Amino acid sequence: MNLQKLLVPIIVIGVLLVFGFCGAGSYNSAVGLDEKVKSSWSQVETQYQRRSDLIPNLVNTVKGAAEFEKSTLEAVVSARASATQMKIDPNDLTPENIQRYEQAQQSLSGAIGRLLMVSEQYPTLQANQNFRDLQQQLESTENRIAIARKDFNGAVQQYNGTIRKFPNNFFMGMFGFSPRGYFESAPGSDKAPEVKF
């Protein structure tokens, strides 16, 4: 009889321990995946910053070409200013915030594309080695951006999948983990701006 009285508390304690270990494992897994998402986002921002850092050199090189369209240069400078001001806290990677970030970057991509297209009308500019080097660096950076976005989406997919699976979904809500937004770029943005020599 005494054993029966002890059996119920032992079972309850055992269930609570199993429940606690599952919760701790789920929490630790989610923390690791959350950090991976933040790290991947940092790489996205780094590649966009790399592109942004190339633009002043590109603009200065183009300014040297006689009679280059001033409005095109101003559009690039303005779009760069807007794109560099747009920052997202890695803890707030909602689809809406990521979309606003991408829109700012798309404006810059469009302005760069127009600049490169207009530059084709200037043979002396096309012959400038510095300009050609900058074009090549921009193309390389656009490829790096595409890879960083892909890696970010992969990290988000893994994180979101983990926190939504049972029994993790029960624990994750208690710990404040919520799904992250994907990087969904505008149609056609999966292609780097066309660079012609």
pLDDT tens for 72-124 read 888 899 999 999 998 999 888 888 999 899 999 999 999 999 888 888 888 88
Q: Which of 73-82, 145-154, 180-189 has the lowest mean pLDDT?
A: 180-189
Token pair belonging to 128: 């400038």
The second-level CATH assignment, the architecture, of 2-175 is Up-down Bundle (1.20)
pLDDT over threshold 80, residue 184: no
Predicted local confidence at residue 1, as pLDDT: 54
Q: Which of 92-101, 153-162, 183-192 has the lowest mean pLDDT?
A: 183-192
pTM: 0.77
Local confidence band at 66 (pLDDT 50, 70, 90 cut-offs): low
Token pair belonging to 190: 């999966």
Predicted local confidence at residue 182, as pLDDT: 87
Of 117, 21, 31, 26, which is closest to residue 69 (Cα–Cα)?
Answer: 117
Domain locations in the chain? Answer: 2-175
What gap in Å lies between CA 54 and CA 50, rounded to an integer? 7
Local confidence band at 189 (pLDDT 50, 70, 90 cut-offs): low
Contacts 24+ apart (CB under 8 A), 66-74: 66/124, 68/118, 68/119, 68/122, 68/125, 69/118, 72/111, 72/114, 72/115, 72/118, 73/115
Predicted local confidence at residue 157, as pLDDT: 95
The interaxial angle of helices 95-119 and 129-164, nearest 10 deg, is 160
What gap in Å lies between CA 155 and CA 180, rounded to an integer? 10
Most confident of 19-28, 159-168, 170-179: 159-168
Of 122, 109, 2, 131, which is closest to residue 68 (Cα–Cα)?
Answer: 122
Token pair belonging to 24: 């701790």
What gap in Å lies between CA 134 and CA 143, rounded to an integer? 14
Predicted local confidence at residue 191, as pLDDT: 57
Predicted local confidence at residue 197, as pLDDT: 39
Of residues 20 and 92, more confidence is placed in 92
SS3 165: coil
Provide the residue count of the chain.
197
